[in-house]
Amino acid sequence: MKSSSSKTVLVMGVILTVLSACATPTPAPTPVPPPQKMRLATTTSTADSGLLDNILPDFEKKFNAKVDTVAVGTGQAIELGVKGDVDVVLVHARSSEDKFVADGYGINRLDVMYNDFVLVGPKEDPAKVKDVAAAKDAFTAISKASATFVSRGDNSGTHTKEKSVWTAAQITPTKDMSWYLSIGQGMGETLLFSNEKKAYTLTDRGTWLAQQSKLPNLIIVVGGSTIAENKDKGLLNPYGVIPVNPAKHPGVNFDLATKFAQWITSAETQKKIGDYGKDKFGQALFYPSR
């Protein structure tokens, strides 16, 4: 009894499959090749800003491509490029980028855009650094006051920038200092942590704007409310796009990666980048390099 009814189902299934295969679809005017795949490694803060979700569809349509974005820490993003696991890298850590190219893993680096970093801290501002012009002076004050400071501690672009400010202030914070907390996590987590601890931390403006509503205990203390108002030029954060060198990894889609680099630095896309965020946050999140 059972086997005969399952046989019926099988036969019906075969008939249906054959019928649907025979059914001719409405013929397309010209055959469309399947989209090319391109893997892009970028940082979590870049992905979190939402910029890529906003502009990538344009690239995908123009070039019949499908972009797989892998968002990881800066170090890991570069490492993915070194290994050839991605076709192109988009990060904001100049020294790491230069090393990436110098070692031959990346080729034809282009400037894309820049945003800035701001120092955020508790409303109570125990170190009294609100509206200080230079970040290094604020850092010095924080160190002197032993006010809690949270570092990303993960060699990301933000962390690298933070370290350079400490260097400018001629201070070397270590984990033995109880006010300096190095937590080795992404920007979003670091901001939430700082909110919880009511501590100071350096953040890129984009993530700050996106997360602000979840961070009731924090305000911007150094950097002003827009990039234009940021008095510390050292807090500017440039982004670079680097296709992976096909000489090192012949399997990468170098052609499409190059097209991507050119497209993202084209006048049209650069304008889009400069407009992104205005409607949502009342200000641009990024400044185009051109």
Partner 1 sequence: MAKISLGRRSSTLADSEWLMTDSQNDPLSAISNMLDIISLSLFVSGIALIIAAIIGVPLGAMLALRQVIFKKIIMLIIYTGMGLPPVVVGLVVYIFLSREGALGWLGWLFTPSAMITAQVIIALPLVVGLTASAVENVNPELRLQIRSLGATPNQAMWTILSEARAGVVAAIVAAFGGIISEVGAVMLVGGNIEGSTRVLTTAIVLETRKGDFGLALSLGGVLLTLTLITNFFLLNLNKRK
The yes or no reply on residue 230 touching partner 1 (CB under 8 A) is no
Complex with partner 1: residue 153 or 246, whichever CB lies closer: 153
User: Could you tell me which stretch among 3-11, 150-158, 248-256, 264-272 binds partner 1 (CB under 8 A)?
Assistant: 150-158
In three-state form (DSSP H/G/I as H, E/B as E, the rest C), the secondary structure along the chain is CHHHHHHHHHHHHHHHHHHHHHCCCCCCCCCCCCCEEEEEEEEHHHHHHCHHHHHHHHHHHHHCEEEEEEEECHHHHHHHHHHCCCCEEEECCHHHHHHHHHCCCECCCEEEEEEEEEEEEECCCCCCCCCCCCHHHHHHHHHHHCCCEEECCCCCHHHHHHHHHHHHCCCCCCCCCCCEEECCCCHHHHHHHHHHHCCEEEEEHHHHHHHHHHCCCEEEEECCCCHHHCCCHHHEEEEEEEEECCCCCCCCCHHHHHHHHHHHCCHHHHHHHHHCCHHHHCCCCCEECC
User: Could you tell me which stretch among 5-13, 157-165, 207-215, 246-254 binds partner 1 (CB under 8 A)?
Assistant: 157-165
Complex with partner 1: residue 17 or 167, whichever CB lies closer: 167
The yes or no reply on residue 188 touching partner 1 (CB under 8 A) is no
The yes or no reply on residue 17 touching partner 1 (CB under 8 A) is no
The yes or no reply on residue 72 touching partner 1 (CB under 8 A) is yes
* Nearest-approach distance from CB 238 to partner 1, in angstroms: 10
The yes or no reply on residue 133 touching partner 1 (CB under 8 A) is no
* Nearest-approach distance from CB 73 to partner 1, in angstroms: 3
**Options 40, 51, 67, 77; binder of partner 1; rule CB under 8 A:** 77
The yes or no reply on residue 148 touching partner 1 (CB under 8 A) is no
Complex with partner 1: residue 65 or 162, whichever CB lies closer: 162
The yes or no reply on residue 172 touching partner 1 (CB under 8 A) is yes
Residue whose pair of structure tokens reads 């990346």 in the numeric block: 106
User: Could you tell me which stretch among 52-60, 189-197, 200-208, 257-265 binds partner 1 (CB under 8 A)?
Assistant: 189-197
Per CB under 8 A, residues contacting partner 1 are: 72-80, 82, 94-95, 143, 146, 153-156, 160, 163-164, 167-168, 170-177, 181-186, 193, 196-197, 234
